[in-house]
Chain A
């Protein structure tokens, strides 16, 4: 499923996911 490194990073990284800024509201 994650045979693409960037796919893996964008799917799994919470660090690059800014939606958490809104979830913490």
Chain B
């Protein structure tokens, strides 16, 4: 229908957008084009409307538990309109680029773990995430042991002992434990044009 075509045409990533997105991110124009190939594939897996819906993200992330899926989706969905647009997709993926500043990765990881978006990582949130993973993995852990693990973690990270981890406490803690950021870098992004060579058929520029 005409409305669908008009809506789709406004979502098509034209050359100026590609250039702007490349300027705003760690990606070259060709890499943004290659990521657009990935975006198109993800965004048509259930509803072919050029937008990633939550169920499409769930499908791509192999049926992750709701707790994590909701948080990841919220971080992608900057406009809070219930869908992920290509621009929002690039804004998140650039944080995961191997060359992205470490502070951006630290901030993003903080936002992931701050499930209730209170500006702090609280004990209940950590408990909730660990319990969800235990359930996901069919692992059994006594409440006593789980409490001990969380107590030990907060004893290390919560330096002012107010029962919650602030952004600054998180920054200091992560810099002491850099392995916590390993999921925040996706090596694929360094070679994305090779991973999605089909962008060449639609490319508008040569890098």
Asked whether A and B interact, the reply is: yes
A9 near B133 with CB under 8 A, answer yes
Of chain B, the residue at the smallest CB distance from A12 is: B133
Interface size on A, as a range, is 20 to 34
B68 near A13 with CB under 8 A, answer yes
B42 near A22 with CB under 8 A, answer no
- B96 CB, min distance to chain A CBs, angstroms: 6
A22 near B38 with CB under 8 A, answer yes
Chain B residues within CB distance 8 Å of chain A: 38, 41-42, 59-62, 64-65, 67-69, 71-72, 93, 96, 112-113, 126, 129-130, 132-133, 136-137, 149-150, 152-153, 156-157, 177, 179-183, 186, 188, 195-196
8 closest cross-chain pairs (CB), A and B:
A15-B68, A15-B64, A5-B153, A22-B188, A12-B133, A20-B61, A24-B60, A5-B126
